[in-house]
Amino acid sequence: MVSNQTHFLAEPTMTMDTFSTIVVITLLLPPLLALVQMMFRHQRTSHNPTPPEPTPIPLFGHLHVLLTKPLHRTLADLAARHGHVFSLRFGSSRVAVVSSAPVAQLCLGALDITFANRPRLPSMRVLSYGWSTMGHANYGPYWRHVRRTTTTEISSTERVQHFADVQVEQARAMARRLSRVPLAPGGRALVDLKPRLFEMIMNVILDMICMRIMCSRSNDEQDETMLEVSEEARRFMAAAEETIELSSTVWDFLPAPARWLDVGGVSRRLQRLQANRTRFLQRLIKGHKETEKGAGVTRRRMVGVLLELQKEDPEACTDQLIHSLCISALEAGTLSSAYTIEWAMSLLLNHPHVMKKARDELDACVGKPKRLLEATDLPNLPYLRCIILETLRLYPVVPLLVPRESSIDCTVSGFHIPKGTMLLVNTFVINRDPGTWDDPESFLPERFEDGRSEGKMAISFGMGRRRCPAENLGMQVVGLALGVMIQCFNWERVGTELVDMAEGSGLTLPKKVPLEAFCQPRDSMVDLLSEI
């Protein structure tokens, strides 16, 4: 009887103990798992440490680095002290900086998908229409759709050649206007090249997008007075440069309350700039629609194709998508090509023997009978191409490439790179690596002759999935503009000193001091220039 009672009393005691054990395990399991995870993470990172970093400032990390100009030079100095892979902290954001060709090849090649995303910077949320442009959308189906559309309608080899006559026409129109600039003392014209180059390239891209140009093409009386760049082109150039200025600033990495307080007025500038860009794009689209209803469109343009797609499926082709595609083509294409030509002309003015060699090549190619350069001549001008390649090596369009972001944890050159790390690839340093290039700081177009530089890494257009899709278009437009200027004019520096080659700052690489130069039509080209 006692034993039964004992058994009866013991049974509920065991049940309570089991229940208590389950409760304790349930409560302790999550923190235990987190602790184990931390231990494994610590063990992993102890074998694969994070890249070295300079001494940070408490709370701000290395935000002060973003204030130095030009940034690519500052990062080059830090790489010299901390190695080809080092890390920075912009506020709470972790950044990895890569400054060697082998490591860049790894990140943009084998780890291309890992680094295919873009950091979600607050400024770009505004400027890229909610990260919807090709340059700022994350890797995935939407990005592939946008890139495919851009490539098909703008930058494919077929489309570049289809619009070659437009490119030639605009290069000649620029030469015509240069030949009519009022002369300064000495019989030469003093010209500010950048806005003229910007307008020429913008007209090319506008014609490919929506059959719109910013100055008259005709050689009539009205055109005789259009010696200066149109006001609309100047306004858009200013807007494009402000877009670059506001991309990836300290403001992006401030805590949210500081951004809400609009420190420095950045938020107001972003909103104003975006409103101006949107109004500009709406005018372009409206103008294209009116042209279609009126005289009609004889060639397929990107806006026309997108408007047709929008009629078929409004949800798949929204106004935002059309704006994103147009603004990407316009801003990226115009600034990058204009800056490249301005750098090339600066280098040629400082190296007149290179200018002469290029002119001799042009005269030999198109001089009998004497005529103006055509797009079909470019493959027969290898030295002109070498000049462009050497310019891009020394002054890459985007010296730090457009920032990428890691989508998963990975290992780079023995260092652990956590998920969500921003990647900056310093092409400016890589393109001047003395381990790769002989006399890397000198302007030597001959280094690209006869395939001598084959296999050497000069990543001015990026690599992998995020490589610039407009390389062919850019090379042809730059080649035509630079070729026409060399063929048609004698160029001289302003004064006896060399052209100032100091670099400006920003996502792209402008000259710190815009190029001004004297130009005068060559005697052998005066008649041809009067005919175009």
Binding residues: 468
Q: Output the six-digit token pair for 167.
A: 């490119």
* CA atoms of 413 and 185, how far apart (whole Å): 59
Binding residues for heme: 468
Looking at residue 503, the DSSP 8-state letter turns out to be B
Cβ atoms of residues 93 and 118 within 8 Å = no
Q: Output the six-digit token pair for 296.
A: 């009609």
SS3 289: helix
SS3 189: strand
SS3 string, 258-305, reads: HHHCCHHHHHHHHHHHHHHHHHHHHHHHHHHHHHHHCCCCCCCCHHHH
Cβ atoms of residues 439 and 371 within 8 Å = no
Looking at residue 236, the DSSP 8-state letter turns out to be H
Strand order through the sheet with 422-425: 85-90, 93-98, 422-425, 404-405
Q: How many CA atoms lie within 13 A of 476 on its CB side?
A: 27
Query: Given the structure tokens 């670059």, which residue do they identify?
Result: 244
Q: Which residues pair with 490 in a beta bridge?
A: 520
89 φ, ψ to 5°? Answer: -130, 110
Residue 127 identity: L
- Scanning 83-120, the segments in alpha helix (DSSP H) are 101-105
Cβ atoms of residues 71 and 426 within 8 Å = no
Q: How many C-beta atoms surround the C-beta of residue 19 within 10 A?
A: 10
* CA atoms of 150 and 155, how far apart (whole Å): 7
